[in-house]
Structure 1
Amino acid sequence: MTRYLSLLRNRNFLRYWLAGALAHVGDFFNTLALVKLFSQDPDRLGFYTSLVVVGNMLPTLLLGPVAGVLADRLPRKLIMVTADLVRAALMFSMMFVHDPLALIGIDFAAAVAAAFFGPASSALLPRLVQREELATAGSLNIMTQRLAMLFGNGLGAVLLGLVGPAGVFAINTGLFLASGLLHATMRAPETAPAEAGSRPAASPLAKLVRDLREAAAVVRERPNLLHLLAGLCIANFGDSGSNVLLVTFFTVTLGVAAEQLGFVMALFGGAAVLGAFAIGAVGNRVHWRHLFSLGCCYVWFTATGAVVVRSLIPSSAFLLLLGLGSGAINVGLQVAIADLVPDNVRGRIFGSFGTISSLIMIVGTLLAGVLADRFGAAATMLGYALFYLAAGIYGYQKLRPEPAPAAQAASARAD
């Protein structure tokens, strides 16, 4: 607890964290309001919902590299504040729109703003806290996301009944405005953009290609970074199907009603909060390569256990265990990026990896549905879980200790 209190005394990080919490809650509010409006046409509810899901993934897939370049070329705080204000304006416009396709279009535009926000936010975090605080900061962010899932759905349902979709959109507008204000009042140290030197003027496309090549060169020059990103791609494929398959497994294979499933998933979210809290307390004492490798193996073991026992209470117990350790991989990633990547290319690394990750998630999710129909949710889930095990073994074999001072020196030279 002391580590968290010490971290929150950092006013810049406190503003960063509170703004993120408001935005996460607003995302869940928005989803509930859209589902409520779409449910007025039950015959097309599934179609509209699938468009929203794909629309939220596509901007990161298509714009990730560009967003990453901008995060390294422009003040990151400026990008974050602009994205908050754009999303606030879009939420406000939703109050006056009733056509489902128009609402989906506005939601897609909000996802575009979020695609630019993400790399800037991720790249800025290591500038707001000390190196030894990164594990705690990453764990706190994961706890916030899980709590937003709990309170965003619960409180959002209550508000939806009290003020209706338009009222929820109005509240969401206020949340994003508050987020923008908090980000605007941060004192965020920025890395100066790379000097052009004697380079001749280049077209925007040529500059984009050059910037992406610089990021690729950083990855090639750092074997640990290359192996970490490769391991994450393997784990992401396993994760792409797990979210859908676990729900299908509990509802179809175990016959769990929707109300009971909601309770189970709420327990999972609570366990994830506790797990992230524990990881944040001790994560700085564990090297990020162990957090990643052991975290992947742990997820494989608990996800496999939930499927193999095929009974509601034991499967739920394994799901709770899964939640406890689910944050280790992301915490390890945040610390690793700070150690391995120079600050002036950090946005490009996050942006490019976001694109690759989104592509993997889309392909993996679609494939999971096809395989589940053919082989069943349980067998398909066991197959997807194996990708976590493969990622853990890969990370254990390929990742090697790398002294933090060396990485810091490299970062200083690059800056």
Structure 2
Amino acid sequence: MRGHFQDLGLLRDRRFTLLLAARTISVLGSAFAPVALAFGVLDLPGADATTLSVVLTAESLPMVLFMLVGGVIADRFPRHLVMTAGEAANALAFFALGAMMLTGWTPLPALAAAAALSGVSMAVLFPALTGIIPEVVPADRLQTGNALLGLGANVSRVAGAVFGGGTVVLFGGGWALAVSGLMFAVAGGLIAALRLAPSERPAGPRHSVLADLRDGWREFSSRQWIWVVVAQFSVLVMALQAGHGVLGPLLAKESLGGPLVWSAFLTGEAVGTIAGVLVSLRLRPSRPILVGTLLCLPTAAPYLLLGLGAPVWAIVAASFALGVCFDVFGVLWQTTMQREVPAEALSRVSSYDALGSLMFGPLGLMLAGPVAALVGTREALLGCAALVVLSTLAALLSPGVRNLRAPAQDRDQAQAAEGVSG
């Protein structure tokens, strides 16, 4: 066991602890948002599932459309400054949403505009975060660094799911959204203090945006394991967005008891991601992408159980398993990307990754409400489960997914740690 935990000295590194604190607080703000926004919108006079779909689509669509530009920006400019700007924009968006809910002035175009600003900020933040980690974390500690960042984020998701639901019930969605905005502002301040030396920032000749995008596409498309898994996630995320964003909250409102029950679902998922960190600190598979892809299969279970009308405890248990699986997948995926993709193109490749993975997410949000009205909420959730399973089985047909191996030194570390723990 000591072999996997000896590099926890990262926690004594000032730059890493600043990044960890900022990421943890930012995710805590994000964790307040789903319950607050979903039930805040659904509680508006005359609102229904289609209204929620419009607002969530307004957030998701700009995130997809601006993701590639976000990757170019993050590869061109100091990533800590890019992330600071992204957190500031997110804070402004959620302050605006909270103010509208609190004042009762909630025209749908204004709600959609504030949600769209949040989507743009996420398009900037995600590629910069992926690229900044190797600038802060030594190469031989990347998996530990990703796992610790995941731990902070996952603890925040648990706290956010619990306190976000409680804040909505006790004070209303407006206050929960305002608290989210405050947390994004604090995270931006911490990132601003993360000053990287000039030599650690992306360098090289400046090209046009299109040339940068072409270079990033070559790096992305030349690796079969990347584009196949991204294609898988384009379908999987569509199902996830529909299930988590609209269908789950709608079913909770219709027949499961409202926001507290949905908060329990999200809490189960978040607790699972914390358990997943412990697994990801320990696990060093020789074929990380194969293992990560296989772990996507159990993530269909929550939607299957919701659709079948299973007891709440079983649904929450399945959401716990979903959290474990997605966390381990995320650590294996990020670590492999950071090792296999050149640092100067990492943010652009991650932006193609995010764009491809998220591109059908808005479609899932747009269709979720109308499909639920047409065939029923439970039946729509069963469809989400089927999409998750079929997309994962298709990805497993790829030799690149099945055969990519971890670096020899990583496998050696895993074998040494097994000897120590044994």
Instruction: Pick closer, same or farther for the CA change 1:52–1:132 going to 2, 3 Å.
Output: farther
- Deviation of 1:59 after TM superposition, in Å, equals 1.9
> Bigger CA drift: 19-28 or 389-398?
389-398
More displaced stretch, 387-396 vs 305-314: 305-314
Question: Is 1:112–2:120 an aligned residue pair?
Answer: yes
1:226 corresponds to: 224
SS of the counterpart of 1:327? helix
What is the CA–CA distance in structure 2 between the aligned matches of 1:103 and 1:87, rounded to whole Å? 14
3-state SS in 1 of match to 2:194: coil
Counting only pairs closer than 5 Å after superposition, residues 11-50 of structure 1 correspond to structure 2 as: 11-35=14-38, 37-39=40-42, 41-50=44-53
Residue from 398, 405, 414 that aligns with 1:401: 405
Contact 2:50 2:369 in 1 (8 A): no
Q: What is the deviation of 1:125? A: 0.8
Distance in 1, matches of 2:299 and 2:369, equals 22
Name the residue aligned to 1:194: 204
Listed one character per residue, the Cα deviations across residues 101-120 of structure 1 (whole Å, up to 9, x for unaligned) are 32331232132122112111
Name the counterpart of 1:337: 337
- Partner of 1:188, secondary structure, is coil
TM-score, reference length from structure 2: 0.78
Give the drift of 1:141: 3.2
Change (3 A) 1:154 1:266: closer
**Shift in CA distance, 395/13, structure 1 to aligned 2, threshold 3 Å:** farther
Kept in 2, the 8 Å contact 1:275–1:327? The answer is: yes
Q: Which moved more, 1:1-10 or 1:308-317?
A: 308-317
Q: Does 1:267 align with 2:268?
A: yes
* Residue 122 (str. 1) matches residue 119 (str. 2): no
1:144 aligned to which of 149, 152, 155? 152
Report if the CA contact (8 A) 1:60-1:354 is conserved: no
Say whether residues 1:388 and 2:392 are aligned partners.
Answer: yes
Please tell me whether residue 298 in structure 1 is matched to residue 295 in structure 2: yes
Q: Structure 1 residues 89, 242: closer, same or farther in 2, change over 3 A?
A: closer
* CA shift in 2, pair 1:316/1:167, >3 Å: closer
> Alpha carbons of 1:133 and 1:368: their partners in 2 closer, same or farther (altered >3 Å)?
farther
CA RMSD of aligned residues (A): 3.6
State the TM-score, normalizing by the size of structure 1.
0.79
Distance 2:193 2:334 in 1: 24
Shift of 1:321: 3.1
Compared CA separation, residues 35 and 330, structure 1 to 2 (3 A): closer
* Distance change in 2, residues 1:83/1:266 (3 Å): closer
Matches within 5 A, 1:147-158: 147-158=155-166
Q: Which residue of 2 aligns with 1:413?
A: none
Deviation at 1:129, TM superposition (A): 0.8
**Contact between 2:147 and 2:277, CA under 8 Å: does it hold in 1?**
yes
Q: CA deviation at 1:66?
A: 1.0
Corresponding letter in the other structure for 1:137 = G
Superposition pairs of residues 68-147 of structure 1, within 5 angstroms: 68-94=71-97, 96-97=99-100, 98=103, 99-100=105-106, 101-147=109-155
Q: Tell me if structure 1 keeps the 8 A contact 2:161–2:263.
A: no
Q: Deviations over 1:188-213 (max 9, x none)?
A: 353343225xxxxx7xxxx1111111
| 8 Å CA contact 1:22, 1:175 repeated in 2 | yes
> Unaligned stretches of 5+ in structure 2?
410-422
Mean Cα deviation higher: 55-64 or 321-330: 321-330
Residue 18 of structure 1 contacts residue 179 of structure 1 at CA under 8 Å; is this kept in 2?
Answer: yes
